[in-house]
């Protein structure tokens, strides 16, 4: 009886307040879409890091025959200097960080260049002697780059140390800023959603003041009086959350999986629908929390004595 | 049934108290008129009984409960022991007579079988048998008040509070309502009725408690509305 009573009350309330219910749905839809987008962007950043940081190396360029760098004034790197650098990398404190060191001689660098672009400008104009020997260092954790740079940067025979991650940093910065923007918009929209839910519940409570007064008078429990209003907010907000999940799912399905993955940018690992489903429960939780907080701040005032 | 022990109620600090050291004992089965001019404290008295307000000082017992120690989640249980009837009827305009009375039972969790048997019974008692399907606006004022009384009494509370129940009714109709309240009182229900209606008070010859500026100035068995011209 009570359950049926609550359900009828909720749907009567939603019907009476259709426009408000729709606006709550739309605002939560938009705000949670931003929350979800921020989360998915971060997931994408994570995937890219996992993917690329496995492949990146630190390159220690050694002094070539001719160099503009001051630390190479003494001339090209000697074998003894190179061995000393490798020793530093493979033993002591760095030994734990460095996974492997691949020396690349001038000749190897030349061959690699020829392989990459045999008819290009550099292959035509340069010889093996113009190339620069280097050490390719693979780190167990690419984030530890600074330690390597500090330890070997000043050694004799080192020209400069280059972290390949720098190449991706701009991209990550763009993605991180996009995340921040989405999160900021989400916060503003969530605030709007909360105010809107508060207003909706208040209007609903005021329009049914006659009923709630009688309910209080005849000794209905507080829960039974307030629950229908809370549920109205919860249903509207959750509907918005579900719609935002559907929207994100469709975006990932058609924009990312169908378009980006088949485009010429297909060499990176993209987020898929599974990632949307991983975010989904959180979006629903936010919607529930939002409506719960709104109800709490409103109902005490409008349905009690 | 209802005991006030030196009860005072001050709404705004410094102002004259709405109730001032009121001590009253109303026993089970009593029929009591609460009379007095507007602002004499009648409404405050009723609100304190319903625990819509709490006293500034003093102790109140209603239906065996000490209201000062009553946890707020138990207030609904207190109110199930008190039926309340108001001057403005307070019916739901979009519900018919049966639904209006049934509403009071639905919202305290009674099942459908109980509702289907007790609502027609109470409608017969108040003299509205056969009018279950009417909407409030299709009824006369007296009939609307009978619906309100049916709603207040359908759960058979031991106490019935009436706040000016005849205030919107003509004298003839009022007599009918009073007969109904008297019949309910004869079933053992305590009836406490706040009123301005001197004709009714003088006719009924029941106990009269008169408030003036928040104080009990008269508590008289088989009293009349006013000993001295108001």
Mean pLDDT by runs of 10 across the 305 residues of chain A is 79 84 91 91 83 76 80 79 81 78 82 76 77 82 77 79 77 85 88 88 85 90 86 91 94 85 73 89 93 84 61
Q: Do A214 and B103 touch (CB under 8 A)?
A: yes
- Tally C-beta pairs within 8 A across A and B: 56
Please give, one letter per residue, the 3-state secondary structure of A125-147: HCCHHHCCCEEEEEECCHHHHHH
* B24: nearest Cα among B207, B206, B158, B228: B207
The residues of B whose Cβ lies within 8 A of any Cβ of A are 50, 52, 73, 76-84, 90, 92, 103-104, 106-112, 151-152, 155
Kindly give the parts of chain B with pLDDT less than 70.
227-230
Which residue in B77, B82, B92 is closest to A211 by CB distance?
B92
Q: Do A217 and B79 touch (CB under 8 A)?
A: yes
Chain A nearest CA to B78, separation (Å):
7
What residues of chain A lie within 8 A of the CB of B52, using their CB? 305
Q: Do B90 and A213 touch (CB under 8 A)?
A: yes
- Mutation to test the A interface, candidates B72, B76, B105, B122, most A Cβ within 10 Å: B76
pLDDT tens-digit readout, A30-49? 999 999 998 998 888 888 87
pLDDT at site B230: 45
Nearest-Cα residue of chain B relative to residue A215:
B107
Q: Do B52 and A219 touch (CB under 8 A)?
A: no
Nearest-Cα residue of chain A relative to residue B78:
A219
What does the alpha-carbon distance between residue B113 and residue B45 come to, in Å, rounded to a whole number? 36
Sheet holding B19-26, edge to edge: B19-26, B2-9, B57-62, B65-66
Nearest-Cα residue of chain B relative to residue A226:
B107
pLDDT at site B227: 62
Which residue in A1, A211, A213 is closest to B110 by CB distance?
A1
pLDDT tens-digit readout, B67-109? 999 998 899 999 999 999 999 999 999 999 999 999 999 988 8
Phi, psi of A77 (to 5 degrees): -65, 140
pLDDT at site B38: 87
What residues of chain B lie within 8 A of the CB of A214, using their CB? 90, 92, 103-104, 107, 151
* B145: nearest Cα among B98, B192, B104, B177: B177
The residues of A whose Cβ lies within 8 A of any Cβ of B are 1-2, 5, 210-211, 213-222, 224-225, 305
Q: Do A218 and B108 touch (CB under 8 A)?
A: yes
What residues of chain B lie within 8 A of the CB of A222, using their CB? 73, 76
pLDDT at site A266: 66
Determine the 3-state secondary structure of A31 from DSSP: helix
CB A173 within 8 A of CB A98: no
Whether the model clears a pTM of 0.95, i.e. scores above it, the answer is no
What does the alpha-carbon distance between residue B153 and residue B101 come to, in Å, rounded to a whole number? 9
């Amino acid at each position: 009886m009570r359950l049926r009573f609550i359900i009828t009350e909720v749907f009567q309330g939603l019907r009476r307040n259709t426009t408000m219910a729709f606006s709550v749905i739309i605002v939560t839809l938009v705000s949670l879409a931003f929350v979800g987008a921020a989360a998915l962007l971060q997931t994408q950043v994570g995937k890219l890091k996992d993917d690329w940081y496995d492949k990146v190396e630190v390159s220690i360029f050694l002094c070539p025959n001719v160099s503009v760098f001051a630390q190479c004034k003494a001339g090209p790197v000697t074998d003894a200097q190179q061995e000393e650098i490798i020793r530093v990398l493979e033993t002591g404190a760095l030994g734990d960080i460095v996974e492997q060191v691949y020396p690349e001689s001038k000749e190897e660098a030349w061959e690699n260049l020829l392989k990459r672009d045999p008819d290009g400008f550099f292959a035509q104009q340069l010889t093996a002697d113009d190339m620069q020997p280097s050490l390719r260092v693979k780190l167990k954790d690419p984030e530890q780059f600074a330690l390597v740079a500090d330890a070997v940067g000043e050694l004799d025979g080192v020209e400069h140390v280059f972290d390949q991650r720098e190449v991706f940093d701009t991209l990550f910065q763009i993605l991180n800023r996009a995340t921040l923007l989405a999160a900021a918009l989400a916060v503003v929209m969530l605030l709007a959603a909360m105010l809107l839910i508060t207003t909706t519940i208040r209007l609903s409570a005021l329009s049914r003041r006659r009923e709630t007064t009688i309910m209080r008078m005849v000794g209905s429990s507080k829960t039974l009086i307030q629950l229908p209003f809370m549920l109205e907010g919860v249903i509207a907000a959750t509907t918005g959350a579900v719609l935002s999940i559907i929207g994100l799912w469709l975006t990932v399905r058609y924009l990312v999986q169908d378009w980006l993955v088949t485009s010429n940018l297909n060499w990176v690992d993209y987020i898929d629908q599974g990632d949307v489903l991983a975010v989904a429960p959180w979006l629903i939780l936010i919607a529930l929390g939002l409506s719960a907080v709104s109800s709490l701040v409103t109902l005490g005032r409008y349905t009690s004595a | 049934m209802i005991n006030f022990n030196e009860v005072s109620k001050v709404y705004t600090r410094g102002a004259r108290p709405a109730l001032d050291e009121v001590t009253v004992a109303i026993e089970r089965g009593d029929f009591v008129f609460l009379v007095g001019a507007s602002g004499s404290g009648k409404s405050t008295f009723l609100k304190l009984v319903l625990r819509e307000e709490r006293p500034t000082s003093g102790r109140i017992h209603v239906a065996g409960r000490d209201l000062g120690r009553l946890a707020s989640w138990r207030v609904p249980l207190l109110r199930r022991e008190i039926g309340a009837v108001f001057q403005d009827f307070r019916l739901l305009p979009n519900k018919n007579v049966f639904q209006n009375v049934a509403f009071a039972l639905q919202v305290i969790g009674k099942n459908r079988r109980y509702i289907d048997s007790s609502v027609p019974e109470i409608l017969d008692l108040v003299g509205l048998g056969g009018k279950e399907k009417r909407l409030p606006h299709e009824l006369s004022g007296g009939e609307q008040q009978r619906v309100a009384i049916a709603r207040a009494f359908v759960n058979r509370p031991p106490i019935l509070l009436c706040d000016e129940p005849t205030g919107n009714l003509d004298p003839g109709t009022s007599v009918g309502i009073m007969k109904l309240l008297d019949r309910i009182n004869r079933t053992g229900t305590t009836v406490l009725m706040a009123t301005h209606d001197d004709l009714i008070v003088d006719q009924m010859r029941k106990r009269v408690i008169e408030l003036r500026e928040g104080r009990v100035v008269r508590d008289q068995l088989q009293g009349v509305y006013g000993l001295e011209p108001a």
